[in-house]
Amino acid sequence: MPIEWRAATRELLLGNGRLTYGMRVLDDDTLGHLYLGPALHGGRSYAHLGAPDFAGFTNRIGTPVALECPVGGSGDFRVPAVAVAFPADGSGVLHLRYVEHRVMAGKPPLPGLPSTYVEAGDEAETVIVTLRDEPSGLIVEVATTIFRDHRALARSLRLRNEGAAPIDLLGAASWSLDLPDAAWQLTTLSGTWARERHVVARPLVPGRQGVGSTRGASGHEHNPFLLLRRADTTEAHGEAIGLSLVYSGNFRAEVEVEPFGSARARVGLDAEGFGWRLEPGAEFVTPEAVLVYSDDGLGALSDTYHELYRERLARGLWRDRERPILVNSWEGAHFQFDEARLLGMATAARDLGIESFVLDDGWFGARDDDTSSLGDWTVDRRKLPQGLGHLAQAVEALGMSFGLWIEPEMVSPRSRLFEQHPDWAIGVPGRPRTESRQQLVLDMGNPAVVDHLAMVLGDLLGSASIAYVKWDMNRNITEMYGRTLPPDRQGEAFHRSMLGVYELYERLTSRFPAILFESCAGGGGRFDPGMLAFAPQAWTSDDTDAFERLRIQWGTSLVYPLSSMAAHVTAVPNLQVGRGTPLATRAAVAFFGVFGYELDPTALSPDERAQVVDQVAFYKRHRTLFQRGHFVRLHGPFDGDGNETAWMVVAPDREQAIVGLYQGLNHPEPGPRRLRLRGLDPAVTYQVSLWPARDDDLSRRNEGPRGGDELMGAGLSLAAGREEIESRGDHWARLFVLERRGG
Ligand code: DGJ
């Protein structure tokens, strides 16, 4: 059994042969933490690993005690997991004591919130530990799931007021993890628009450190994730702990190092600006946190997140399906199109082998630029006189599927919707509202808004043959105020608006199960596990420059699978950085994701068309490998001078693999280096070929049969003659395709 209860010592040990997580009810009934680390034998007590008791600190110094659900105000001066205020007397002191626990097969769903799930009861086991604050009647249920086949645990707290008076919840972390030492480096995925999820690492220092969002979305700036790794942890070796929050709104991911050198890591809702009134009988459920522990390096940690999020977080028909290669109209046409132009683009794309045509922004209301019409989800007859249905049919007649862009949560001040319902836009009555991209955010915490959008967008999606939806969200929330909430419940506004977004997603995805949804937020501004539960892929970034994308996709891959990363080839000079990169390099980067194009295919030269035909055929041939393979990071854009990147994807049965090698600036005389691969079958002989095919040194040195043992032990040869090096130029890329020849 993955979960063992040792009654004599009141220990709970969760283990699956890859990791063990230990908790213990301490002598004073506080829930203590014992252990997180490599798998320990079952049938033994580990009670000695934790302190016996925690009755507050009885001396001036206060030795830290490891706790599962810490609270403030009674001697633990570290950041609490749960914080409350009791309106009856204004106090905020809590004593959460063990009442009972129950173990169950499987994993219960979280009401209204996205979460990981199981398809069979034996895939996971869950223990729910009930804690109670006797004077107030506050119940906290700590539900922890261990997955049978993954190095992963999931946790959520359920808080219930069983008392007679209201309780104000001021903060509730989804996971608070006490670690016995602080000899970790903290890594976060941070950046901003067009450079999302860069890998940022720093050693832990005393005090609190971390990242978060107060923007109403997880944000471009920081992902709801933190990674702790030892100084000597590499991709293939060493310890790492990940905490990932399945949530798309305001969050905090942080670590506190206290004076004795222990560390408390926690992820959850951001307490800043958060409050939740729990009336007697009411419940509050925190978003889920997913903890991954690896003692086999970062690669194994990422593998775990990839498998779990691809197969047991993403849902629906498209979870396991191959995703189509699409062309998106945005960078090719922006707002300037009519039906003839769009069909011209679609026809040209079809001739290149592209499978789907997606009409981006600009098709509705009177939207000729970004100053109007959000909220008016009816087709602009000036541009499309015969309507969307006609366009969709015409695209289908070409043998392609049709996709459409929407931005449901927004309203333009210049729109019919705003004229009719100015009070649906978020803002404090009597105060100015900050506009961003000339738009305002709808109050998704207002059920009338969600009902309206479910109806209007439901009608829209039912009105034409739409196979794909890109759900955008182009600004963050300012002047937050929930008009349907009373003054003393305004702290609920952000979380309620997130719950409203999830509800709308749930309604539309269940009403249109055949549609492939892709989430987007001005690029990757809401690329998080919460969104993945509804949309199995996301627009990774508005920055499609091949060199910039290496960093973005590398960082994103720490947590998110390739099947979630939409990656498109766009025209040069690149719109975000003005850089020119070879077409082959742009494709060689975008292949490692859900591949597509975002340009005007009618503007391609004959040579470019021939290249695109080859690229599309290449991706189709290897699509399953790219979308479902096991991703291995070899050499990173955040290592050294960042000039060289190498990564690979390996089929689950290890019969095929593709290695991507990328170089930023070209340098003379690189020397006879080798690139050692990982994750192959040492017993298999692979036929190595290069893409694009060239008659050059690199091909001659590597093409042919090579053992998996040799490719991992000695590696590919990167040597090339001077002439060949001189001809490469900057932003060069090459792929090595490995296919099994025989055992
Ligand atoms: C931001 C998205 O990231 C782009 O891909 C595009 O859809 C624009 N919005 C359209 O306004």
pTM higher than the cut 0.95: yes
Does residue 542's CB lie within 6 angstroms of at least one atom of ligand 1?
yes
**Residue 361 CA, ligand 1 centroid: distance in Å:** 7
Instruction: Write down the pLDDT at residue 592.
Output: 98
Instruction: Write down the pLDDT at residue 250.
Output: 98
pLDDT in tens, 183-197: 999 999 999 999 999
Does residue 732's CB lie within 6 angstroms of at least one atom of ligand 1?
no
Looking at ligand 1, which residue's alpha carbon is closest to its atom 6?
A: 330
C-beta separation of 564 from 537 below 8 A: yes
| For ligand 1, mutation pick of 220, 327, 473, 474 (most atoms within 8 Å of CB) | 474
The band of 61, judged by pLDDT with boundaries at 50, 70 and 90, is low
The band of 60, judged by pLDDT with boundaries at 50, 70 and 90, is low
Does residue 364's CB lie within 6 angstroms of at least one atom of ligand 1?
no
542 is catalytic: yes
Whether 726 shows a pLDDT value over 60: the answer reads yes
Instruction: Write down the pLDDT at residue 223.
Output: 98
**Residue 107 CA, ligand 1 centroid: distance in Å:** 37
The band of 670, judged by pLDDT with boundaries at 50, 70 and 90, is confident
Report the pLDDT averaged over residues 606-634. Answer: 98
CA distance linking residue 668 with residue 666, whole number of Å: 7
Whether 59 shows a pLDDT value over 60: the answer reads no
Whether 743 shows a pLDDT value over 90: the answer reads no
Instruction: Write down the pLDDT at residue 52.
Output: 67
The band of 261, judged by pLDDT with boundaries at 50, 70 and 90, is confident
Does residue 527's CB lie within 6 angstroms of at least one atom of ligand 1?
no
* Cβ-Cβ contacts under 8 Å for 499 (sequence gap 6 or more): 112, 113, 444, 445
The band of 466, judged by pLDDT with boundaries at 50, 70 and 90, is very high
pLDDT in tens, 414-440: 999 999 999 999 999 999 999 999 999
Instruction: Write down the pLDDT at residue 435.
Output: 93
Instruction: Write down the pLDDT at residue 53.
Output: 64
For the chain, percent of residues with pLDDT exceeding 70: 98
CA distance linking residue 707 with residue 686, whole number of Å: 6
DSSP sequence for 482-528: -TTS-GGGGGGHHHHHHHHHHHHHHHHHHH-TTSEEEE-BTTBTT-S
Instruction: Write down the pLDDT at residue 64.
Output: 76
Looking at ligand 1, which residue's alpha carbon is closest to its atom 11?
A: 361
368 is catalytic: no
| For ligand 1, mutation pick of 361, 575, 576 (most atoms within 8 Å of CB) | 361
C-beta separation of 562 from 556 below 8 A: no
pLDDT in tens, 196-250: 999 999 999 999 999 999 999 999 999 999 999 999 999 999 999 999 999 999 9
> Counting atoms of ligand 1 from 1, which one is nearest the CA of 470?
7
C-beta separation of 259 from 657 below 8 A: no
Phi/psi at 455 (nearest 5 deg)? -75, -50
Residue with the two structure tokens 């196979």: 467
Domains of the chain, with CATH numbers?
3-312 (2.70.98.60), 326-626 (3.20.20.70), 634-740 (2.60.40.1180)
The band of 1, judged by pLDDT with boundaries at 50, 70 and 90, is low
Which tokens in the block code for residue 274?
């958060």
Strands (E), 180-217: 185-192, 195-203, 207-213
**Residue 472 CA, ligand 1 centroid: distance in Å:** 7
| For ligand 1, mutation pick of 336, 469, 471, 542 (most atoms within 8 Å of CB) | 542
Phi/psi at 308 (nearest 5 deg)? -65, -45
Phi/psi at 660 (nearest 5 deg)? -110, 130
Does residue 662's CB lie within 6 angstroms of at least one atom of ligand 1?
no
CA distance linking residue 250 with residue 648, whole number of Å: 34
The band of 58, judged by pLDDT with boundaries at 50, 70 and 90, is low
**Residue 566 CA, ligand 1 centroid: distance in Å:** 13
Catalytic residue among 542, 543, 545, 600: 542
> Counting atoms of ligand 1 from 1, which one is nearest the CA of 370?
11
pLDDT in tens, 349-400: 999 999 999 999 999 999 999 999 999 999 999 999 999 999 999 999 999 9
Which tokens in the block code for residue 232?
């000597």
C-alpha separations of 3 from 145, 147, 226, 696 in Å: 9, 10, 26, 58
Instruction: Write down the pLDDT at residue 584.
Output: 98
The band of 51, judged by pLDDT with boundaries at 50, 70 and 90, is confident
Q: What rounded mean pLDDT belongs to the chain?
A: 96
> Counting atoms of ligand 1 from 1, which one is nearest the CA of 405?
7
What sign does the CA torsion over 435, 437, 441, 442 have? positive
The band of 530, judged by pLDDT with boundaries at 50, 70 and 90, is very high
pLDDT in tens, 271-285: 899 999 999 999 999
Residue with the two structure tokens 């040209």: 348
Chain CA centroid to CA 479, Å: 27
Instruction: Write down the pLDDT at residue 63.
Output: 66
C-alpha separations of 512 from 260, 463, 468, 515, 627 in Å: 55, 12, 10, 6, 23
Residue with the two structure tokens 């925190």: 286
